[in-house]
Chains A and B, each alone.
Chain A
Amino acid sequence: MIDVLLTAIAYSSGLALAAAGITIIYMSTGTFNFAHASFTAWGFYVVFSLFSLMKGSPYYYMILGGLFGGVLGIATYYIVNRWLLRAGADMVTLMMSTLGVDLVLFAAINIFADYLTYTYHFNPRLFVLSSYDFKLGSLYGIPVSGIVLVSIIIVVIIIAILQLFLTRTKMGIAMRATIENAMLATVLGINPELIYVLSWFLGGFLGGLGGAILSLLFTGTPNIGMLLIVPEFAASIVGGLYSVFGSLLGGFLIGISQKVGIALLGKWLGGWIIVYEPLIPLLIMAVTLLIYPKGLGGLPWGKIYKRLFKGGE
């Protein structure tokens, strides 16, 4: 059970970062970004290809995976999203356009994988990086991989940086203002274009970084983005779609309930249920949307805190 919990923590961290990326892009531009699947998958492939070419440790290349995701985000904004936002396209068109981007990026990953196969004779369609991870030690006889600790550290650092950025810098405050009311922010001299680029970069960066973390947990295939996009969306939606920290929390809720929940169900009901694991994020997502679309970010945390620790009003 402990090994499941450890994997779940690392998985949730990756998921939480990617979901935060989806939320940032959605908050500022109103675009549900399907291309996040490919940003994540590219995070996988940047880490894998650089590690295979230059050796060392997969951790060296994680930040590059994130940056590449950010570059893809900026490219998506300048090539597609910017013009649609200017034309005032509706939500569904924005969403569909990112799906088109996703298909092109998906093909690009496959072409890149073919290239790696022909030129370097790697096997980029089924790679496992987790064997190159370092070991932290063991817990009750179960070896603990480095990714568990590193992923948590990365999430904490990201939370700290985001918090500082959004509350202490002019740029971050301008970003919050634009999300709150783009028109009013423009009147105050904030350039919304800059904010949109920034949020696409941040979103892409988090998506790529999430993928880089997950590359040490999952077997890498070009399809990995399509498998991960649903839990990512689920985490973002459970988080409430209007709160970055909510979606980080949502990532952990989805990740833990997916990995630990299915292990528990497998124990109670028998092993046959294990394969239905992908249903869990789908169900949580659908139920959240139907019952409480505001999600975790919409809960009155202040009131809950008061009631729990100060014994009500």
Chain B
Amino acid sequence: MLPPYVYLILNILVNFAVFLIVTLSLNLETGYAGIPQFGRVLAVLAGAIVAGAVPGRLIAYYIGEKWGAEYANHLYNFPIVDRINREILAPNPLLSIGILLFTLVVAAIFGGILGYLSSYPALRLKEAYLGITLLAFGDALQIIGKYWQPLVGATMGVTVPDPYRCIGIGAEKTIGATLIFLGFAILIYLFVESLGRSPFGRALKAMRDSEVAAEVYGKNIVRLRGWALIIGGAIAAVGGALWAFYAGSMKALTYDRLTWTFWPWAFMMLGGTGNNFGVFVGVLIFSTVRSLIYVYKHALATIIPIKPAWLEYILVGLVIVLISLFRPQGFIPEKPALSVKRKEIERIKEAITSKKAEA
């Protein structure tokens, strides 16, 4: 057994990792591209559904277990997945890694497809109208996942095959899974950050600030929005799939718009919209506070007369209100896009004019 503070740190880290991934994807769409993504839960849930439905079925088919509609029935699902974990995944680290990566790729593809479909309303509607439409999409998928049993077991949910089983069971598995999760989160952070600095990211910001100006400079608005939604959706789906793998079970019920759309919004607003490092800080603050509230809820209950769960809502609500009132740019405001130094620009200009003078 590990000392309790290690569990606290692991809890903070895993919350941090999953919300960092989801909030970064939200930041790409909302902070960079200016699309009010009120349906973040759509892609996250799609990723979780892929993790719950695809890898287990593949292995069940391979070892001759039920893999059709019965797979999602909780009566069959638990023993099948238990057998998969014990007989297939535990002794085969290589296969486990393969299954993990394969599922993430499939999840990313599905998230990307959903992002592409979201670009249909995103090109026709604006601001709040678009936000509400995207929110409707997210809710619709949750309702289907919640009630359509053959997909992921409806209200009972399904057990997700455990690719971390080969690390062991108990403490070492928790540590390993958390570190792998964190590794993916950091990789995605680096990817999104470099994407933001690339010509593509700058074009997104230009589009956000003035669509007309971006079009005048030859940027294709349709394509930019589409790609922002596709990449954002793919990243969020990877986050959802990783979360389902970590949790070991997948219930569509738990993927609600509050946790997976509005909380990432609050984290992003706190840290700084349009700034990945701000998002990093915002998510870190929030996941630390959330884990502390969760761990010390009994101690808290003796100090304040309300249940700590509601304290969490009040906290998130107040942060949203106070940030939008007093510091709309967030803790760490977005920096102007990196550009070439002034001297360098003047040197180039000099070179061009001197060339013209020669000619």
A-side interface residues toward B, CB under 8 Å?
A: 32, 79-80, 83-84, 89-93, 95-97, 99-104, 106-107, 110-111, 114, 226, 230, 233, 237, 275-276, 278-279, 282-283, 285-286, 289-290, 293
Contact = CB atoms under 8 A, between A and B. Distances in A.
Interface string B304-341: 00110111011011111100110010000000000000
A114 B307 contact: yes
Contact of B317 (A101, A283, A286, A289): A101
A90 B314 contact: no
Interface string B105-125: 000000000000000110011
Interface residues of B, number: 39
B310 A107 contact: yes
Contacts of A80: 321, 324-325
Central interface residue in A32, A96, A102, A289, by most chain B CB within 10 Å: A96
Contacts of A95: 36, 128, 131
Interface stretch (B7-15, B135-143, B244-252): B135-143
Contacts, number: 114
A103 B143 contact: no
24 contacts: A83-B325, A89-B324, A92-B128, A95-B128, A95-B131, A97-B320, A97-B321, A97-B324, A99-B320, A100-B319, A100-B320, A100-B321, A102-B317, A103-B317, A103-B320, A107-B313, A110-B309, A233-B132, A276-B143, A279-B143, A282-B139, A283-B136, A285-B136, A290-B133
A282 B136 CA distance: 5
A89 B137 CA distance: 26
A243 B139 CA distance: 26
A114 B306 contact: yes
A5 B191 CA distance: 55
| B contacts with A: majority SS | helix
Secondary structure of the A contact surface, majority rule:
helix
B209 interface: no
Please list the 5 inter-chain residue pairs (A to B) with the smallest Cβ-Cβ separation, ordered nearest first.
A100-B320, A103-B317, A100-B321, A104-B317, A107-B313
B127 interface: yes
A104 B125 contact: no
A290 B124 contact: yes
Given A96-B320, A230-B136, 12 more contacts: A84-B324, A91-B127, A104-B313, A106-B317, A107-B317, A111-B310, A276-B144, A276-B147, A282-B136, A282-B140, A285-B133, A290-B121
B229 interface: no
Interface in B170-219: none
Nearest to B154: A275
B140 A289 contact: no
A110 B317 CA distance: 14
A283 B324 CA distance: 31
Nearest to B140: A282
Contacts of A286: 121, 133, 136-137, 140
Contacts of B144: 276, 279
A276 B143 CA distance: 7
Contact of B132 (A102, A106, A285): A285
Contacts of B127: 90-92
A58 to B, nearest CB: 26
Interface in B126-176: 127-129, 131-133, 136-137, 139-140, 143-144, 147
A96 B17 CA distance: 24
A106 B313 contact: yes
A15 to B, nearest CB: 16
Contacts of A279: 140, 143-144
B324 A289 contact: no
Nearest to A104: B317
Contact of B321 (A90, A101, A114, A282): A101
A106 B310 CA distance: 8
B231 interface: no
B265 interface: yes
Contacts of A93: 324, 328
Interface string B245-268: 000000000000010001001100
Contact of B262 (A32, A99, A285, A290): A99
A96 B269 contact: yes
A278 B143 CA distance: 7
Given A32-B128, A226-B258, A104 B321 contact: yes
Contacts of A233: 132
B321 A92 contact: no
